[in-house]
Amino acid sequence: MARIQIFGKYSPEAWEGVNAEGAVSREANMHSMFESLGAEVECYYMLPRSNYDFTMILNDANATVLAAIKKMVGPTGAVVDTTADVLMTAEEWDAIDAQSYRPPGQ
């Protein structure tokens, strides 16, 4: 199961909406939006002392899901900066069989 952690930063206008509606409303919206694409929001956190405003961990997400979200959210300008990282457990990491690699020039 692919797990991805997303960090995002709201625009000033989006912050007005978050403050008016409440962060719980945004969290519910995120759950609905990702579920409609076949992914699950495992958790959603606000980040009061970070360079980002929120983070969430997604289950069953992939590049197609992330592209769909970008196409939905991007044009609104509500989220002005994001990053996404693939998460792996230590067991998943250890299970990967490393292949041989020849660096350039060697």
Q: What are the pLDDT tens digits along the chain (106 aa)?
A: 689 999 999 999 999 999 999 999 999 999 999 999 999 999 999 999 999 999 999 999 999 999 999 999 999 999 999 999 999 999 999 999 888 888 999 8
pTM: 0.86
Which long-range CB contacts under 8 A does 69-72 form with residues at least 24 apart? 69/33, 69/34, 69/37, 72/33
Query: Facing residues of 87 across strands?
Result: 3
Tokens 């992914």 correspond to: 39
SS3 of 4, please? strand
Q: What is the pLDDT of residues 64-82, one digit of tens each?
A: 999 999 999 999 999 999 9
CATH topology of domain 3-94: Alpha-Beta Plaits (3.30.70)
Q: What is the pLDDT of residue 28?
A: 96
Encoded tokens for 63: 């590049």
Distances in Å between the Cα of 9 and the Cα atoms of 40, 51, 56 are 20, 8, 12
